[in-house]
């Protein structure tokens, strides 16, 4: 009898780990490429141990068929990947903003590795992405992500059918919304650089012998850095509000 109880407890723990571990491997600040795999695994095991007593009453009975067990685990992994992907898509708005800023300010050729998207990106994109991850941890928004993971057990009950249509629709809307936010956050740079090019065009027409682009490129970089210094605080505040609103969609008990 004791062995059977232990086996049930171990299976229930692994079932909770399937969802939480899959999500933590993608969450901003925890699933980054620069975080060692062992650290991510330890974080997933620790969070599972903390949340397991709370979500254990919501877990279904252990099925006897192997196929049923496999489908149950795959369903939990799917929910965890969905929640982690939502958080990752929300942070991609900063990468979009940084890429637009780089093209407008002359930093498009300054390519660095961006750990937030696990690919190469412009220098300003890397700066904003890393700053966004830092502010998520500093402002305790990662607690909001853990609350969303816990409340996901009431929204997506283990063992029940998964709304794959809603998953795809939600991801599509989030991608569109993140791109829209990225363009909106870069709007000051678009306006300033557009006015700057208009002034350069007028200057080129008034003084054809003047080397406009030779003088304009350093001024464009200086102007872009000035606008970045002035607007970066507002950009990050708007992003944090957007991120908190997006994650709060999974929270049902608060």
Give mean pLDDT, residues 187-204: 86
Dihedral angle at the C-alpha atoms of 26, 30, 33, 39, nearest 10 degrees? -120
Beta bridge partners of 112: 121
**For residues 181 and 201, which has the higher predicted lDDT (pLDDT)?**
181
- Please give the structure tokens belonging to residue 124: 């300003």
Q: CA 244, 247, 250, 253 torsion: positive or negative?
A: negative
pLDDT digits (tens, 9 = 90+) for 107-163: 777 666 666 556 677 788 888 988 999 999 899 888 888 888 888 888 888 877 778
pLDDT in tens, 27-43: 888 887 777 888 888 88
- pTM for the structure as a whole: 0.84
Which residues are 120's β-sheet partners? 113
What does the alpha-carbon distance between residue 221 and residue 191 come to, in Å, rounded to a whole number?
15
């Amino acid at each position: 009898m004791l062995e059977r109880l232990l086996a049930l407890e171990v299976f229930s723990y692994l079932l909770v780990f399937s969802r939480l571990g899959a999500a933590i491997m993608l969450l901003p600040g925890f699933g980054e490429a620069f975080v060692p795999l062992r650290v991510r695994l330890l974080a997933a095991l620790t969070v599972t141990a903390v949340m397991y007593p709370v979500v254990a009453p919501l877990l279904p009975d252990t099925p006897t068929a192997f196929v049923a067990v496999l489908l149950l685990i795959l369903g939990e992994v799917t929910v965890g990947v969905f929640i982690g992907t939502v958080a990752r898509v929300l942070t991609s708005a900063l990468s979009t903003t940084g890429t637009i800023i780089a093209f407008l300010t002359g930093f498009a050729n300054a390519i660095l590795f961006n750990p937030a998207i696990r690919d190469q990106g412009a220098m300003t994109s890397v700066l904003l992405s890393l700053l966004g991850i830092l502010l998520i941890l500093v402002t305790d928004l990662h607690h909001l992500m853990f609350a969303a993971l816990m409340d996901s057990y009431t929204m997506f009950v283990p063992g029940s059918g998964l709304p794959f249509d809603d998953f795809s629709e939600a991801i599509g809307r989030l991608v569109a919304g993140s791109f829209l936010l990225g363009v909106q956050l870069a709007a000051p740079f678009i306006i300033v650089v557009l006015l700057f090019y208009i002034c350069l065009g007028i200057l080129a027409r008034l003084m054809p012998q003047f080397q406009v682009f030779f003088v304009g490129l350093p001024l464009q970089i200086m102007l872009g850095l000035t606008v970045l210094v002035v607007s970066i605080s507002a950009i990050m505040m708007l992003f944090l509000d957007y991120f908190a609103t997006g994650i709060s969609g999974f929270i049902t008990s608060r």
